[in-house]
A and B are shown apart, each in its own frame.
Chain A
Amino acid sequence: MIIKTGFIEALPLAIAIAAYGLSYGVMADQASFSLVTAVAMSVLVFSGSVQMVAVAMVAAGAGMASVLVTAVLLNLRNLLYGAALAEGITPAGKWRWLLAMGVSDEPFVLGSARFKKYGPDPLYFAAVVGTFYIAWILAALLGSLIGNQVDPQKWGLDLAFPVTFAALLIPSLTDKPVIATALAAITIAIGLEYFLPGNEFTIIITGVVAPLVGLYLSRRALRC
């Protein structure tokens, strides 16, 4: 039952992830990755941002050290996701080492929403991550096979990410500290993007700093 819920809630995002997986497969093909290495990267790395950037950098002739440094920067936010998700997936015992493969943007968004409502739920997290994992790998395989231009924008699949995030955000805006956190986050993120367009730090900096606003307001409310 929980697995079914996880699957259904993950499905819209899984379709969007598959669309990106398809573009990744095509890009990997163009960056002269073979079918096997392109798919192996999806199986072993399982990170949209890291893989896209890695194949784009390889195609542009970048060395391994610079790809690795970029990947470490892109991965910084996983530290925060992992810490925030730990309580929700720890009941899985040693299986958490496997579930940790799913610590990234989309599973974090769905997982933290679920844990907040129902408490720790590793099975739900596993269902969500499993759905994304299968979609990501099959799409990379297909993209690498067809190897020509695929445009997710044309089908509106790129819209699925922000629209899903918006639909998850709005119901959680229930009290003043949460609303203040969201407003602070939007302000900080716009500021960072304005000064450094497309940089890799926006999400981690916003994720660390903006919650302090909510924390401050809720503690002040407790004191009054």
Chain B
Amino acid sequence: MLDQWILIGVLAAATYMSRIIGVELMAGRELSPTLRLYFNYVPVAIISALIVKQILVPADEQLFISIPVLIGCIAAAITIKISKSFLPSLVIGIIIGLLIRYFLI
């Protein structure tokens, strides 16, 4: 029980440190134009990596492509491109992903 509390404390401290260090390093600092441009591209890179991580599922040291996730993402991408509205795109993406999961695979 005590071990669990120590573990929680250690994990909480380590996680908070990782969060505040980046913020404090950059807080109130005037970014150089190059660095600003660089950070401009970071979200796109991270979001792309997160999507890839969700589509490629590791199992037994091998990679599998999750077809429902892939098709759901494509459906949401096409919907937002056409409709420009966020929530309907999510709903359509999730429903199509679910339909693929239950009826095609």
- A and B held together in a complex: yes
Beyond A167-B86, A197-B58, whether A182 also contacts B18 by CB under 8 A is no
Interface size on B, residues (CB 8 A): 75
Decide yes or no: A90 and B7 within 8 Å by CB, A165-B51, A167-B77 being known contacts: no
Q: Kindly report which residue of chain B lies nearest to residue A78, judged by CB atoms.
A: B18
Q: Is the CB of B97 within 8 A of A185?
A: no
Does A203 lie at the interface of the complex (its beta carbon under 8 Å from any beta carbon of B)?
Answer: yes
Given contacts A116-B43, A198-B58, contact A182 B16 (CB under 8 A): no
Query: Taking the complex as formed, is A3 at the interface, i.e. its CB lies under 8 A from any CB of chain B?
Result: no
Let me know if A105 and B23 touch, CB within 8 A: no
The verdict on A64 contacting B7 (CB below 8 Å), with A116-B43, A190-B56 known, is: yes
For residue B47, which residues in chain A have a CB less than 8 angstroms away from its CB? 109, 165, 168-169
Partner of B22, one of A12, A82, A173: A82
Chain B residues with CB under 8 Å of chain A are: 1, 3-12, 14-29, 31, 34, 37-56, 58, 61-63, 68-69, 72-77, 79-81, 84, 86-87, 89-90, 93-95, 97-98, 101
User: From A207, which residue of chain B is reached at the shortest CB distance?
Assistant: B46
Whether A84 touches B42, Cβ cut-off 8 Å, given contacts A9-B86, A159-B68, is: yes
How does the 8 Å CB contact mask read for A23-59 relative to B, with 1 for contact and 0 for none?
A: 0000000000110010011001111001100100010
Whether B90 contacts A164 by the Cβ 8 Å rule is yes
Bitwise, A9-24 to B at CB < 8 A (1) or not (0) is: 1001000000000000
9 A-B residue contacts at CB 8 Å? A64-B10, A103-B19, A159-B98, A166-B72, A166-B93, A185-B44, A185-B52, A202-B53, A214-B44
